[in-house]
Amino acid sequence: MDEDETQDEGCECEDCEIDRRRGCDAPEKCQKAAERLLEALHPLWRPKIHSEDDTSDEEGTERNTGAYRHANETPERQTLTESFRVFTSNLPPPSYDTRKTNSSHSRRTVVVYTDGSCTNAGYEEAKAGAGVWYGKDDTRNKALRVPSDLPQTNNTAEAAAVLVAIQSSRSRDTLIIRTDSKYVIDAVGGNRRKIEDTDWLGQSNRNILEPIIARIRQRKGRTIFEKVKGHSGDEGNDGADALAAEGAEKATGEELDLSVPRSWKVKGAALGSMTQALLYKGIRRLKRDGTKDRRRTVMGLDATRYASKEKTGLAPLDETVWKSMKSKHLLDNKLRVFLWKIVHDALGCGSFWENIEKYKERARCPTCGITETAEHTLTECPSTGQKVIWNLVRKVFEMKGIEWAKPTPGSIASCGTRSILNPTTGKPKTGASRLYTIIISQSAYLIWKLRCEWRIGKQGEKEGVPTDLEVHNRWVAMINRIIKLDALAARKRPREKEKRTGPCPVLFANTWKDVLLDNEVVAELHRQFIAMSKRHQSADVRSRG
């Protein structure tokens, strides 16, 4: 909505009334003309006019209602120390001052509910929608698809709904936004100053949250955020949620105005608010801008994405692939490094040795006579034990009811993103998915270790090739050790307020059920968990009584 349309005809604010008594027929037009003249000046020569009303005392969270009252304050600093900023240009800072009106003269109060929806988050097939609800059958209600150039996530959709609600409101109205998104309320409310002072380092969705903050500062009336509980039967929240789901199914995204006026854009980071870690992140961000992506890494990510889509029908985004390598189902940091190197094509084989003068012969496989690659080592070479190990993995998957397909480097690297679905309900089977990640990652890493023991430790001699029996015993011993440690972790009962680090007994049972030769271990752990849960419930009842 154009700003001229958001302003009231015949403003009744105190400043305009004073101007009329002085003989001005159109105070609003005079104000806009003055603002245009000031904008035409270079910031160095722009006068700063402070008003006695330019305070932010009304900003904060109300104790009784939990609403966040957002003051239209200017981002001025109070001390000289707070004024030093880094990661900014050498031009003088813009003038943030604007003529404010007393919020008590707002024409009306508008209540709007906002919500977001997203399906297949973290994948290329993700679809996000935003819903803005004013009332039943209200013509102002909106359902829109988040544009494709923005991240298709629930948080982005929530923020888009808030932005549309603000842009659709009249500037002088008191706007009450009711949302179930704590993320948006914190970002544009209580954490706003900290986020701006650290130049948005570590904060996602800057390209949509920053316009929201700028629009709030431009508004003449109050902006109040109220947190509502999602899916609690609230008519407004349910209405916004339905509109968001409707918007997510639209074929094309709606264009959003994400512009931030220069006079309302906070530049750089406040030096007094920065830590050494944040400064380092800022420097890395500057260096990263303009740096081309590594070709091998791009190819590795594409291979990982293709392998995942072939199995699940969903292609993970780059950040989803990287996050999957932090999965708690990868039981060792060595596994995380190993998968990371597969994606980067950085394993110590093949071309890795070609530039090292004394070890150039290590680039070629002595058995096959070709240049080694991750794919050759993990899925083709007869001297690494891979054939025996993958046959064992296939048998385990058949016992668990997991569809088998010979792994590739891409499917190995994406093992943390794989979800095994229940064919009846279509929902993910947590235990089977966990088993898949554990078995694939551990087996691939064992193949790599056997290869290194043969190629590096035994100089690639023919006599050093591991036998099928040795490979079989190594794999069985490894899996038995993992199961034993997993059982010990599941049996460990965390102390009060202590976070469980291992699997709960139910997750352990769902992971290894139908795989162990003696399923009594699984059944016993499950019985212990049920008994423990009943004891906790009875203790809670006694404490309440």
Return the pLDDT at 141: 94
To the question of pTM greater than 0.75 for the whole model, the response is yes
Which residue type, as a one-letter code, is found at position 505? P
For residue 432 the two structure tokens come to 């089977």
Q: Which residues of the chain have pLDDT under 70?
A: 1-10, 41-82, 90-106, 517-545
Return the pLDDT at 72: 56
Inter-residue contact 213 to 192 (CB < 8 Å): yes
Q: How many angstroms separate the CA atoms of 500 and 21, rounded?
A: 70
Cβ neighbours of residue 544 closer than 8 Å, sequence gap 6 or more: none
Cβ neighbours of residue 70 closer than 8 Å, sequence gap 6 or more: 59, 188, 189, 216, 222, 223, 224, 225
CB-based burial of residue 79 (10 Å sphere; 0-12 exposed, 13-18 middle, 19+ buried)? exposed
Return the pLDDT at 64: 42
Return the pLDDT at 324: 93
Helix/strand/coil for 269: strand
Which whole-number Å values give the CA distances from 270 to 63, 186, 263, in the listed order? 30, 20, 18
pLDDT per position as a tens digit, 240-271: 999 999 999 998 888 899 998 877 788 888 88
Helix/strand/coil for 226: strand
Residue ranges per structural domain of the chain: 53-271, 295-466
Q: How many angstroms separate the CA atoms of 243 and 226, rounded?
A: 19
Inter-residue contact 437 to 415 (CB < 8 Å): yes
* Main-chain phi, psi angles of 161, to 5 degrees: -65, -40
Cα torsion for 425, 426, 428, 432, to the nearest 10°? Answer: 80
Is the domain defined by 53-271 classed in CATH 3.30.420.10?
A: yes
Q: Maximum Cα–Cα distance for the chain, whole Å?
A: 104
pLDDT per position as a tens digit, 329-383: 998 899 999 999 999 999 999 889 888 888 888 899 999 989 999 999 999 999 9
Residue 81: CA count within 13 A, CB half-sphere? 3
Return the pLDDT at 53: 38
Q: Is the dihedral of CA 154, 156, 305, 447 positive or negative?
A: negative
Return the pLDDT at 26: 86
Q: How many angstroms separate the CA atoms of 364 and 46, rounded?
A: 69
CB-based burial of residue 478 (10 Å sphere; 0-12 exposed, 13-18 middle, 19+ buried)? middle
Return the pLDDT at 97: 45
